[in-house]
């Protein structure tokens, strides 16, 4: 067996996401899953602002802190405009011998402007060049809605009404065949869209990365994907406190968000943990991979210290009860490309989940 393609077994592609991230030998004995998160993903609607705000200049500090704390799952995307900075930082670690490429789980994503079969290879090759890598462990279709590369005269993204998930998925499968991606998956897809891809796939989607937090728990989508052996990865698992604060025009101290909810604060005191750790642990016990975002070194370290306690069934139930459904979303749909989304045939929010 060619060791360059350890994800291939007798013509069948394994769910490498689940195998690599969720089946570590040192997994938490209280869980069926061992979750490692990434702290370098972006969640801003303004991509140029996001690239600046991440602090590409201090990406080395972020990467150093995360790896030293034990993080091994790094989530990025072509659209985040930080792949190159991440690649440079990781190369320092590889060159030093402190860590090997195969010890990391690297995720990046096809931008919506590349949601055409003929563009998949081009964008993945560019991401690999940015990251200075020959393969990624997981490659996701970032959005179910495609757009054209060129904006309109006003600078707005122009949506592509002819987005074809099935032809796009075949092109994604070709990247696994070529060894450029170990696993492939989806992001922001609803149940109907996941099922259509899954039903027609030669290589099944390994993961669906979606917004998920205490107020927006996506219970139906989690159950649906679990039945298809598609793992769920939660972005914004803390409820995007920064976004909520920026969008709030009143007193920041009265903003309603998961981190400051009385039940979360009560449990943080009970378990002697931070509110963030309570929220992360809650998602983990629901079998969800979490990728909380922080560029603060101390919070980075705190966010991985969630394997030394277990929420009781009663406490989990109390947190489960705080779900608000769609009203609990913390992020606007599709960031800055919401014009025409409601009418787009692949708008995932046309369905209940």
Catalytic annotation, residues: 80
Closest CA to 299 of 69, 111, 76, 94: 69
| C-beta separation of 35 from 27 below 8 A | no
Alpha-carbon distance of 208 to 196, in angstroms, equals 13
Alpha-carbon distance of 261 to 275, in angstroms, equals 9
Alpha-carbon distance of 188 to 181, in angstroms, equals 20
| C-beta separation of 256 from 216 below 8 A | no
Alpha-carbon distance of 265 to 262, in angstroms, equals 5
Alpha-carbon distance of 115 to 149, in angstroms, equals 10
Considering only the C-alpha atoms of the chain, give the largest distance between any 2 of them, rounded to a whole number of Å. Answer: 61
Looking up tokens 């989990």, which residue turns up?
316
Looking up tokens 């011998």, which residue turns up?
97
| C-beta separation of 141 from 186 below 8 A | yes
| C-beta separation of 52 from 38 below 8 A | no
Alpha-carbon distance of 69 to 77, in angstroms, equals 23
Closest CA to 205 of 16, 54, 344: 16
Closest CA to 182 of 350, 14, 12, 348: 14
């Amino acid at each position: 067996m060619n060791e360059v393609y350890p994800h291939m077994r007798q013509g069948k592609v394994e769910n490498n996401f689940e195998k690599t991230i969720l089946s570590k030998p040192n997994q938490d004995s209280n869980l069926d899953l061992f979750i490692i998160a990434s702290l370098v993903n972006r969640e801003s609607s303004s991509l140029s602002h996001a690239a600046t705000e991440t602090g590409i200049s201090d990406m080395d500090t972020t990467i150093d802190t995360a790896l030293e704390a034990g993080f091994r799952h790094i989530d990025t995307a072509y659209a985040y405009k930080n792949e190159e900075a991440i690649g440079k930082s990781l190369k320092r670690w590889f060159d030093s011998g402190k860590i090997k490429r195969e010890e990391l789980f690297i995720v990046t994503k096809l931008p919506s402007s590349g949601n055409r079969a003929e563009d998949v290879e081009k964008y993945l090759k560019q991401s690999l060049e940015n990251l200075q890598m020959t393969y990624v462990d997981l490659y996701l279709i970032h959005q179910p809605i495609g757009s054209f590369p060129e904006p309109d005269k006003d600078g707005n993204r122009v949506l592509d009404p002819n987005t074809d998930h099935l032809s796009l998925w075949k092109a994604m499968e070709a990247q696994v065949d070529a060894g450029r991606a170990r696993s492939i998956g989806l992001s922001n897809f609803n149940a109907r869209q996941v099922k259509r891809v899954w039903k027609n796939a030669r290589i099944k989607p390994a993961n669906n990365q979606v917004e998920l937090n205490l107020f927006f728990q996506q219970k139906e989508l989690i159950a649906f994907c679990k039945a298809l052996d598609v793992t769920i990865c939660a972005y914004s698992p803390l409820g995007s406190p920064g976004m909520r604060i920026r969008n709030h025009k009143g007193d920041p101290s009265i903003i309603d968000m998961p981190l400051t909810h009385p039940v979360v604060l009560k449990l943080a005191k009970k378990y002697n943990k931070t509110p963030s750790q309570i929220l992360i642990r809650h998602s983990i016990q629901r079998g969800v991979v979490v990728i909380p975002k922080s560029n603060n070194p101390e919070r980075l370290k705190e966010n991985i210290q969630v394997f030394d306690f277990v929420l009781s069934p009663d406490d989990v139930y109390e947190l489960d009860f705080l779900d608000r459904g769609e009203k609990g979303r913390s992020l606007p749909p599709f960031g800055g490309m919401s014009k025409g989304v409601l009418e787009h045939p692949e708008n995932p929010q046309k369905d209940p989940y």
